[in-house]
Amino acid sequence: MSEQVEWRDLSLLLVLLLLGVFFGLLAPQYLSARNLSMLTIEFAITSVLSLGMLLVILPGHIDLSAGSGVGLIGGVTAVLIMRGELPAGVAMGLGIGLALLLWRLQGFLIVSQGIPAFIITLGGLLAWKGLFWLVIRNQTVPVSAGGHANLLSVLTTTYLPPWATYVLIALVTALLGLFSLRSHRQAQQEAAEQGEAVPDGELPFLRWLVTAQALALIGLTCGQFRGLPLPLLILALLAVLVQILTKHTRLGRALYAIGGNEEAAVLSGIPVGKVVVTAYTLLGALVGLTGLLQTAYAGASTTTVGELMELDAVAACVIGGCSLRGGRGSVAGVLLGSLVMASLLSGMSLLAVPPEARFIARGLTLGLAAWLDVRLSKMSKGSLA
């Protein structure tokens, strides 16, 4: 399995390189500091929703209503600010609260009534979309008026200054190096205590080196424009939290166990229903956050905000190595998958690709990702046999 994971990671890096070369040749401005900085914002927004989707895919479920929820929460927040004249912070809090309530309700219905997640969330897709259009009255609701910005509108227009960006990137790189070194020493100590072969430090060092180079590239690129955008900082914090949750908590272990074998999870005492409802509730929080970010990035709440974002999130998860059957997936893989999707969408937008061609490209990408998931699953079963 590790060889398959490494092959997938290498293939994703190759795909990103090819996308950069392809779009860079057709549209040289694609590789400009400004466009790449905008790309990081789009990547951050897609990734936030994809990390939420990861939490429900791990136990073997799915959510088709996330995109409609993104539009609904952004629309409700925009209406509360612009028409209800509520303080932006209060409106944003109410929007997140509504998302938590709706997604907890969906999770409860899935668990308590035994209805497939596909059906419940498909109903949510339609219901939340209709409610969204009703809330905004099928009109465009701007997130600022008279040139005056509010807390929502500045979410995607705030940047960390270039000098602070460089300092932050250097600190994060150093901390990652220390954590990698500490983890490697612990692994060596455990191996020595159990009488096993002591692992060398080449692979951890290479992983840290690649990560450091990626961070340096992000810092240099953003530093040449305005600095590090706030959505990227939000994503970084969120990715750390989700990584800790999935890898170092009982809830995370339960998510993997349920996706791997639900019957075995029940027999081992895992409260499957409670875990699944919690996963959907956490997804709701991230749907709400994505709704705020996407609406702020668009500059207004319109009927197209959030459209098909649930499919982009699912595609990002599958591209990044998540199994739609559950039990397999990682934060790093989801981030790579999100970067592939964001790069593809940004390049097509820059080239003014017609909408019908964009739909075809996204559909083919999702289909290819699903095929790759099936192939790797078969390869894994074959190697175990």
CA distances from 190 to 186, 201, 317 (A): 6, 14, 32
241 shares its domain with 287: yes
Give the model's pLDDT for residue 382: 54
Lowest mean pLDDT among 13-27, 157-171, 266-280: 13-27
90 shares its domain with 169: no
Displacement of CA 97 from its chain's centroid (Å): 20
74 shares its domain with 152: yes
Indicate the residue among 170, 200, 226 that finishes a domain: 226
* C-alpha closest to that of 120 among 106, 131, 102: 106
**Number of domains, the chain:** 2
Measured torsion, CA atoms of residues 63, 68, 69, 74, in degrees rounded to the nearest 10: 150
CA distance 197 to 181: 18
CATH of the domain at 339: 1.10.3470
300 DSSP β-pair partners = 142
Mean pLDDT, rounded, of the chain: 87
Alpha helices in 261-354 (DSSP H): 262-267, 272-298, 309-319, 331-350
Indicate the residue among 188, 203, 226 that finishes a domain: 226
Better-predicted residue by pLDDT, 365 or 65 = 65
Give the model's pLDDT for residue 1: 43
**For 155-175, what is each residue's pLDDT tens digit?**
888 999 989 989 999 998 898
Indicate the residue among 199, 226, 253 that finishes a domain: 226
130 shares its domain with 206: no
265 shares its domain with 371: yes
Mean pLDDT confidence for 223-242? 92
Rounded to two decimals, the pTM is 0.90
297 shares its domain with 195: no
278 shares its domain with 371: yes
219 shares its domain with 366: no
In which domain, by residue range, is 211 found?
162-226
Q: Would you place residue 123 in the very low, low, confident or very high pLDDT band (cuts 50, 70, 90)?
A: very high
270 shares its domain with 280: yes
197 shares its domain with 267: no
The answer, yes or no, to whether residue 145 has pLDDT greater than 70, is: no
285 shares its domain with 316: yes
191 shares its domain with 335: no
Q: Which residues contact 291 (CB under 8 A, 6 or more apart)?
A: 69, 70, 71, 72, 73, 74, 75, 77, 95, 99, 305, 306
